[in-house]
Amino acid sequence: MFRKIFAAAITMLPFAGHAQEIGANFNHDPEIIDFEYLQKTPVEWVRTTPYIFEYIRGEKDPATSPGLQNVIDAKKKGYKVAFGFRWDFNKFKLPIPAPGSAEEKKYFAVAAAILDRVGPYVDVFKLGNEPNLETMPRDLQLNAEGVVPLVRFTERLLTEVVEPYYQKHAELQRPDVYTGSLPRLFLKEEQKKPGVIGLIQLAQKNPRIKGLAVHLHISDSLEMEEAFRFVRSIMPDKPIIIPEFSLFRLYNRHVSDKLGDSKEGKAFAEKYGYPADMKLYEWYSKANSERVSATEWADMFASRKWFPPHFMLTYYRYFQKYGVILATYGFLSQSAPAKMGPGSPTWFINPIFPMKSLQPQPDGSFTPNPLWFDDFTDIVNRGKQHAQ
């Protein structure tokens, strides 16, 4: 059923005229941007959103951070850069500061210091990262003044930090600015949050904001369709960018499946000498702790009835349908737990180069992910052709 859903024909809308460029996502760790491996694909875009509280708390210095230097170097090497900050208010149990407060001034001073360093090298600036998850719940609701603190803070980040910087440096090309990035928009609970609705309305109504950033970590294409439908009900025409996308939720559903739960699964287990009742999370532990061959990796996923091959091509068709102009995909392994359990996250399946799970090539270089590499290269090239 899942394969049928992903293979279903998608009726094209007028948005199909937009270019759908595809790039490399390094999440919140610009330190791992690797130009050697970027050159192994045709990507022209690099995306990263550093943890700004690492700078606010003094753990990193905007003036000397190697990660920020990687952002600068990416632009100098000819890549286009999508940049922004991850505001972990919820992680640190911090309320969003009041306008003009000492705390807000402190936060914005750090943001301005980072922008002083990387501002000339940014092509897209995102005003947040998963703020509906990284904000304290009360700050996603209307306060006593009838204002959603998250929405006000986001707009003030634009008016108090981003706009003044580019007005001061008129010789620079101001980057396109996006609100977001909003995940889980297919869930009714997210669609009801005033903070979520308010950020999409802000993108729609503010002429200084180009559009909206959305994350699509999904379990099937119906969730993707619903997320886009919801966004387009509030923001009908402005561009969408997708800084993160994956089948993470699908993988998580199946971590406790047995290897031998089907004829194909039993054949895989027998071929590689595993017990048929071995759980997927146990096999994942082996891959992440010992690393497996690309052939074994590909064979295991081919033995799963739920795994949809060529899902990137399906994503690309939806990007065309709903006016996505840029999407970036996980590029290098980051989280790859050596000891997996039934509730462990499965981000390590995604990367284009999953070097923490796959054996290296004979020359010692990282092995491309056989699940995605060819299709990723294909859609990157398609996007480049349409952008010309």
Domain harbouring 221, CATH code: 3.20.20.80
The residues, any chain, with a CB within 8 Å of residue 180's CB and separated by 6 or more, are 126, 127, 128, 129, 131, 199, 203, 212, 213, 214, 215, 241, 243
Query: Are residues 153 and 93 both part of a single domain?
Result: yes
**20, amino acid identity:** Q
Last residue of a domain, one of 279, 300, 321: 300
In a domain, 110, yes or no: yes
Query: Are residues 270 and 222 both part of a single domain?
Result: no
Query: Are residues 42 and 158 both part of a single domain?
Result: yes
pLDDT digits (tens, 9 = 90+) for 315-371: 999 999 999 999 999 999 999 999 999 999 999 999 999 999 999 999 999 999 999
Query: Are residues 44 and 71 both part of a single domain?
Result: yes
**133, amino acid identity:** L
pLDDT digits (tens, 9 = 90+) for 4-27: 334 343 344 445 456 799 999 999
Reported pTM: 0.94
Query: Are residues 134 and 63 both part of a single domain?
Result: yes
Q: What is the pLDDT of residue 17?
A: 53
Query: Are residues 172 and 283 both part of a single domain?
Result: no
Query: Are residues 249 and 275 both part of a single domain?
Result: no
Q: Classify the phi-psi angles of 208: left when phi > 0, otherwise alpha if psi is within -120 to 50, otherwise beta.
A: alpha
Q: What is the pLDDT of residue 19?
A: 75
Q: How far apart are CA 265 and CA 261, in angstroms?
A: 6
How many domains in the chain?
A: 2
Query: Is 30:70 a contact under the CB 8 Å cutoff?
Result: yes
Query: Are residues 81 and 132 both part of a single domain?
Result: yes
Host domain of residue 29? 2-254+309-331
In a domain, 191, yes or no: yes
In a domain, 274, yes or no: yes
Cross-strand pairs, 241: 213, 326
**What value does the mean pLDDT of the chain take?**
95
Query: Are residues 41 and 159 both part of a single domain?
Result: yes
Q: What is the pLDDT of residue 151?
A: 98
Query: Are residues 213 and 275 both part of a single domain?
Result: no
